[in-house]
Amino acid sequence: MIRVEDLSVRFGDTQVLHDVSFEVAAGESFALVGESGSGKSTILKALAGQVPVAGGSLALGDAAGAMTAKARARQVQMVFQDPYGSLHPRRTIDDTLSEPLLIHGLPDRDTRVLAMLDAVGLPRRFRFRLPHQLSGGQRQRVAIARALMLDPPVLLLDEPTSALDVSVQAEILNLLKSLREEKGLTFLLVTHDLPVVSFLCDRLAILKAGRIVEMAGVEALRAGQFASPYGRELFDRTVHG
């Protein structure tokens, strides 16, 4: 569902990704972990078409090769870290959820918006509210709903719960897991939080300075058995502070 081969990204003279390759099967949930500056979010941005690719190839969803922005939007959508910054403050929830349908000329907007509110566990009475009238967790539900409006097979999740309170994080993680099971979604999750990976993902890649240093199954994470020294270092820091 996602194939990344020898991906390189440069910002000016600085190369931020060096020959990154990995594949994610349909319905799989894959995590990219690493410190700030390791390039994990840049991979998501490259897949979302937000940064120019300097080398290598990307394939996404059902289509192969180059895609128009509009076609890409049907294949992949992103959920961002900060639900306070990722929703238009002066548009109602209804506006936010209807916009992708309008752009893509899809019918039955009314039914689809209501069905999506139900799917992400938001009461229907929130439909005409503005983002500031919602809590952080409710806003993140709206962001997830917006990402799913066009029924993309792939969701890119950039630290989707790290701005949320612990108890709200649990609700959103449960929601993501249910949605993935119901709709057969493919997840690519960026996080620095290994326990979240343990809950939500099947496999992970550990990044350091723009390179993948290790790929492992979630069993290796749960058992604390990473092969690379850097992987073990990350694990130790999480477990022992």
Partner 1 sequence: MSLLSVRNLRVTFPTDHGPVDVVRGLSFDLGRERLGIVGESGSGKSMTGRAVMGLVPKPGRVTADELTFDGQDLRGLSEEAMRGLRGPAMSMVLQDPRFSLNPVIRIGDQIEEAMAVHGRLGKRDRRARMLDALSAVRITDPERVARLYPHEVSGGMGQRVMIAMMVVLEPALMIADEPTSALDVSVRGQVLDILADLVDRRGMGLMLISHDLNMVARWCDRILVMYHGEVVEELAAGALMEAQHPYTRGLVASLPKIDETRDRLPVLDRSRL
Q: What is the DSSP letter of 73?
A: H
Place of tokens 């180059």: 66
67 alpha-carbon distance from chain centroid: 20
For the sheet with 211-217, list strands across it: 76-79, 154-158, 186-191, 29-33, 203-208, 211-217
Burial 170-200 (b: 16+ CB within 10 A, else e): ebbbebbeebbeeeebbbbbbbbbbebbebb
**CB nearer to partner 1: pick between 19 and 171:** 171
If one asks whether residue 185 binds partner 1 (CB under 8 A), the answer comes out as no
**Shortest CB 138 distance to partner 1, Å:** 13
The three-state secondary structure class of 233 is helix
Of 205-224, binders to partner 1 (CB under 8 A) are 221-224
**Which of 18, 199, 211, 215 contacts partner 1 by CB under 8 A?**
199
73/175 with CB nearer partner 1: 175
Site string for partner 1, 127-156 (x = CB under 8 A): ---------x--------------------
The residue within the footprint of partner 1, chosen from 70, 165, 227, 229 (CB under 8 A), is 165
- Sign, CA dihedral 76-32-199-36, equals negative
- Of 36, 65, 111, 125, the residue at the interface with partner 1 (CB under 8 A) is 36
Interface residues with partner 1 (CB under 8 A) are 35-36, 136, 165-171, 173-174, 177, 192, 194-196, 198-199, 221-224, 234-235, 237-239, 241
